[in-house]
């Protein structure tokens, strides 16, 4: 039997997804700093725009929606799915605007490939890829390999979903007694 998502469930899903989006915006600060340091101004503008978009969306969702009940396994799975899909479309923007992809669909494919750690790339002219964009590619693979939700749970104290969200993403290993400690350890 497939559990039904009720209207009060969406407020919990959107609230915690907002935390994940804010976390992803914070991770983009690293390639932004690299772009500024390497004088890659076009990439810096792309990363800044993406950070602003993620922070706006994340802040809106986090403040506008409040959990009306304790998070369950269903919420964890929905937060993972919603965060992955929406973040794929937003995180593809720096790729697409870099003009190293033939289409926005290719950029989305590359982001999802990084988040799922399959490693397939569709970048055109790899030899001339900006350093900051290359760092972002590697960070996406790292974040995807560890699990966006696991990392968010480890570093965002307000997310507080414990083990339920982590398992919603498909990670069932408990290395340490606490999910935050497990995420930091990974």
| Residue 11 phi, psi dihedral angles, 5° rounding | -65, -40
pLDDT at 151: 59
**DSSP code of 177?**
S
pLDDT at position 7: 77
Mean pLDDT, the chain cut into blocks of 10 residues (186 residues total): 76 88 92 96 95 96 85 79 91 92 91 81 80 90 72 55 48 53 58
Residue 156 pLDDT:
54
pLDDT at 124: 75
Per the CB < 8 A criterion, the answer to whether 63 and 78 are in contact is no
In the DSSP assignment, the letter for residue 178 is: S
For residue 128, CA distances in Å to 34, 53, 78, 91, 133 come to 16, 27, 38, 20, 10
Say what the pLDDT of residue 173 is.
52
Overall pTM surpassing 0.85 (yes/no): no
pLDDT at 163: 43
Residues constituting the chain: 186
- Residue 168 is predicted with a pLDDT of 47
């Amino acid at each position: 039997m497939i559990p039904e998502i009720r209207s009060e469930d969406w407020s919990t899903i959107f609230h915690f997804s907002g935390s994940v989006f804010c976390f992803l915006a914070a991770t983009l600060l690293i390639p932004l700093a690299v772009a500024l340091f390497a004088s890659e101004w076009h990439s810096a503008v792309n990363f800044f725009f993406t950070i602003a978009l993620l922070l706006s969306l994340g802040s809106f969702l986090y403040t506008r929606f409040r959990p009306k009940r304790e998070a369950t396994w269903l919420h964890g799975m929905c937060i993972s799915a919603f965060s992955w899909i929406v973040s794929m479309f937003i995180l593809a923007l720096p790729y697409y605007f870099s003009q190293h992809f033939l289409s926005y669909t290719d950029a989305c494919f590359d982001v999802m490939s990084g988040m799922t750690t399959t490693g397939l790339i569709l970048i055109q002219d790899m030899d001339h890829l900006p350093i900051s964009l290359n760092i972002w590619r590697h960070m996406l693979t790292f974040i995807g390999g560890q699990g966006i939700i696991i990392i968010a749970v480890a570093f965002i104290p307000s997310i507080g979903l414990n083990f339920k969200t982590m398992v919603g993403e498909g990670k069932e290993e408990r290395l340490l007694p606490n999910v935050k400690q497990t995420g930091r350890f990974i």
